[in-house]
Amino acid sequence: MLDVRGLKKVYEGSGRRVEAVRDLTFTVGAGELVCLVGPSGCGKTTLLKCMGGLLAPTAGEVLLEGRQVTGPPPGMAFVFQEYGRSLFPWMRVGENVELPLKQKGLSKARRRDLVADALRSVGLADASSAYPWQLSGGMQQRVAIARALAYEPRVLLMDEPFAAVDAQTRADLEDLVRGLWRERGITILFVTHDIDEAVYLGERVVVLSASPTVVQEQLKVDLPPDRDQLHTRVAPRFAELRTHVYEQIQAAKRGVQLGGTPLEAAPMDAPPPLKDGLR
């Protein structure tokens, strides 16, 4: 569905050369929910923007259903961390959700159905005529998610969408995303710096190294598909997985590749070789 091959992104400007992403290769299968987790400043956002066609990679390529991504592809929707800036304050909630659909050239009736359906699925059926700034932070992010859903994407890219909301709202939104994923069968790539969130949400977790970024490890989350905040988070397997990811991230920060894996059958693929070893 989504292939990232040898992706490299170097920012150059005013005599400074920053290698944000060195060499990333991974795939996301159709209908999968993959969480990308890595130490802060590891180029997660850069990676996502390259995947969404918002940034041109320096080398390597991103393929969506076998076709190279050169600009924002029509089958892909983006949910940003900064919901307050991503929603347009001059438009009502309904108009915000509808705008991309107008751009798609859908009929008025179809647009109305999609907007109503998307707002209903995020629990904001009544908020259509409010302005985004009249809503709480969590509700605003729900609107942003509704806008993405109404767009009917095959792939949904989410860039630390819940980093700016409080813990309780966050738990609700996590369940919302998992619910929508199971209900609608969208492929979701969810970027987060929160290890618990990555393990709780994902079917698979891709651990990134510190910048310049490579894939540190890929891990299958073998928790049952029915997850809830109360029981899943206290399950022994959840603790094992999160400990494992935590260790990987710590290792990534130090710039080492952990050798033997403490988890039986957990890693999916052989970890890619880290070319420069200790730095």
Partner 1 sequence: MKGVNLALGAAGLAAFLALGEAVPRLGLVKEAYFPPTSRIADALGDELADSAFWTALGDTLTGWALGLAIAVGAGIVAGVVISVVPHLREATASTIEFLRPIPSVALIPLAVLLYGTELRSVLLLVVYASFWQILIQVLYGVQDVDPVAEETARSYGLGTWARIRHVLWPTALPYVMTGVRLAAAVALILAITAELVIGAPGLGARIAVAQTSQAVPEMYALIVVAGLLGLLINVGARTVERRALAWHQSVRGEVAV
**Which residues here bind partner 1, judged by CB under 8 A?**
49, 52-54, 72, 74, 76-78, 80, 82, 85-86, 88-91, 99-100, 103-104, 131, 133-136, 147, 151
Residue 238 CB, nearest approach to partner 1 (Å):
33
Q: How far is CA 12 from the centre of its chain?
A: 26
Determine the 3-state secondary structure of 158 from DSSP: strand
Dmax (CA) for the chain in angstroms is 59
Roughly how many angstroms between the first and final C-alpha of the chain, as a whole number? Answer: 34
Residue 172 CB, nearest approach to partner 1 (Å):
16
The torsion of the CA quartet 184, 221, 234, 236, rounded to 10 degrees, works out to 150
Nearer to partner 1 by Cβ, of 173 and 205: the residue is 173
Nearer to partner 1 by Cβ, of 23 and 98: the residue is 98
Nearer to partner 1 by Cβ, of 41 and 89: the residue is 89
For helices 93-104 and 108-121, give the axis angle rounded to 10 degrees: 130
Nearer to partner 1 by Cβ, of 133 and 260: the residue is 133
Rounded-to-integer distance, Cα 201 and Cα 208, Å: 17
Nearer to partner 1 by Cβ, of 53 and 272: the residue is 53
Place of tokens 């290890």: 195
Nearer to partner 1 by Cβ, of 165 and 205: the residue is 165
Residue 19 CB, nearest approach to partner 1 (Å):
22
DSSP codes joined into one string, 170-193: HHHHHHHHHHHHHHH--EEEEEES
Residue 202 CB, nearest approach to partner 1 (Å):
22
Residue 139 CB, nearest approach to partner 1 (Å):
9
223 in Cβ contact with 241 (< 8 Å): yes
| Cβ-Cβ contacts under 8 Å for 92 (sequence gap 6 or more) | 128, 129, 130, 131
Residue 194 CB, nearest approach to partner 1 (Å):
21
Nearer to partner 1 by Cβ, of 72 and 123: the residue is 72
Residue 85 CB, nearest approach to partner 1 (Å):
4
Rounded-to-integer distance, Cα 171 and Cα 162, Å: 9
